[in-house]
Structure 1
């Protein structure tokens, strides 16, 4: 008999099996942990990240311990999902996220978006509001809304501009991976169709932003700009003075869990 069979807690926290659904011809990988308590958690990862990262797993284990549901996916071209990463766009990854949400999410949900996933979360909130299904709350970790237009395009070198024009993409070294980041013309052009920092963003729910002040990928000033575009919602911004872009240290994970727990208590307590 395995050790897990003798340890109900270990079994409870075991990694969920991967499931797949088809979204416009792409095989999208999903891990869904059902739960009896609301709200559930929906994890939206960053650019070139996957659902087995430290923060995603920490939230899934918290859900397992507390009886909440936890839903994760890999966008096409990411992690265990099929599809070509270089064919990915914000519109495509948003559509996949919404398809997974509609297929698996039950009851009220907190959207948790990391880096580019913050952009996806904000766009999801906009689309869900059109359906009368606002999220219960949103947690944004080092959010990068409009990063293609606000952070990438203004800093393009002449060589990168030429690569975009002639090759359809350019490469940039990554401090997190031996493989370079690839930014395609398709991604940048589609990004302009999904901009959220062009006016007031109405999510219809509380928003809590966690941002490292030592973040070199998404400067903390970008989070300050985002707050200015959320004047209608109840917004909390927590700046981590020594935090980097990942915010994956033990103390950062503890902050993330405490933030989610605080929102759960607030949502669950009648006003």
Structure 2
């Protein structure tokens, strides 16, 4: 059942959680996705069957949460995630991040200390606003951002993505790939070599849109159960 809470910037943020045994499994979705996607629902069904605590949610301007997409950044969505996790969970956590959610999981997880039991990163896209988007923009797109504050890029999943200057500049506050990352817990990275949304180079630097087939979901479940049994 969808519930709402007030986020760090006063917007209503949608979330759904189930009570159960710890650690709480938290699913962090991708760029312009929402908490009703196949992976989120699969994991919630798995958690219900197991009696595991579980949380999924929508960042501001995603899904059922309030907000205007072009007025937000990855840094602000990370703040949303931190606020929902702080308000709706207790005890140890396992973060499962898909695409942008992988970036946010890395950003939040590095400061969680012993509370973080494990990370599962699915086609993680850390720092993609700079290293993938801005780096690939044409001069025309850069001019559009300079003049209008926004440009549009094609999407394989529907309408073109609006990319704002605010998204590009403010997301730098959340960068994680500019210095070494260290975690005192298991970290599992799932990356397909045919994924068009996230480059293989990004995955290799770390050592979603498409990871919802039964075989891929089975891999996610296997990695999750591996963490729980460790």
Corresponding position: 1:166 with 2:124: no
Structure 1 residue 172, shift from structure 2 partner: 0.8
Aligned pairs (5 A) from 1:22-101: 22-23=6-7, 24-35=9-20, 37-101=21-85
- 1:239 corresponding residue in structure 2: none
Distance 2:117 2:127 in 1: 23
2:226 alignment counterpart: 262
Aligned Cα root-mean-square deviation (Å) = 1.2
Report the equivalent of 1:210. 190
- The reply on whether 1:176 has 2:161 as its aligned counterpart is no
Secondary structure of 2:116's counterpart equals coil
SS at match of 1:217: coil
Distance 2:10 2:40 in 1: 26
Residue 191 (structure 1) shift: 2.0
Cα deviation 1:37-91 (Å, max 9, x = unaligned): 2222101000000000000100000000001011011000000101111111112
Q: Take 2:108 and 2:115, find their aligned partners in 1: how far apart are those partners?
A: 9
Cα distance in 2, alignment partners of residues 25 and 87 from structure 1:
14
Aligned residue in 1 for 2:177: 197
Question: How far apart are the structure 1 equivalents of 2:218 and 2:167?
Answer: 34
Per-residue CA deviations over 1:11-52 (Å, capped at 9, x if unaligned) read xxxxxx1110111211000101111x2222101000000000
Give the number of equivalent residue pairs. Answer: 229
TM-score, L = length of structure 2:
0.96
Check whether the contact 2:124–2:203 (CA below 8 A) recurs between aligned residues: yes
Matched, 1:139 2:120: yes
Which residue of the partner structure matches residue 13 of structure 1? none
Structure scoring higher RCO (CA < 8 A, sep ≥ 6) equals: 2
> What displacement does 1:193 show?
2.0
Unaligned 5+ segments in structure 1 are 1-16, 228-243, 267-271
SS in 2 for 1:25: coil
Give, in angstroms, the shift of residue 245 of structure 1: 4.4
Q: What SS does structure 2 have at the residue aligned with 1:264?
A: helix
Measured against aligned partners, the alpha-carbon deviations of 1:117-173 in whole angstroms (never above 9, x if no partner) come to 0011011112334xxx54110000000000011111111101100111011111011
Query: Partners of 1:226 and 1:60 in 2: how far apart?
Result: 27
Give the conservation status (yes or no) of the 8 Å contact 2:98–2:121: yes
Query: Greater CA radius of gyration, 1 or 2?
Result: 1
Match of 1:253 among 207, 217, 220: 217
Normalised to the residue count of structure 1, the TM-score between the two structures is 0.82
TM-fit CA distance, 1:182: 1.2
TM-superposed CA distance for 1:226, in Å, is 1.3
Q: Which 4+ runs in 1 deviate beyond 2 A? A: 126-129
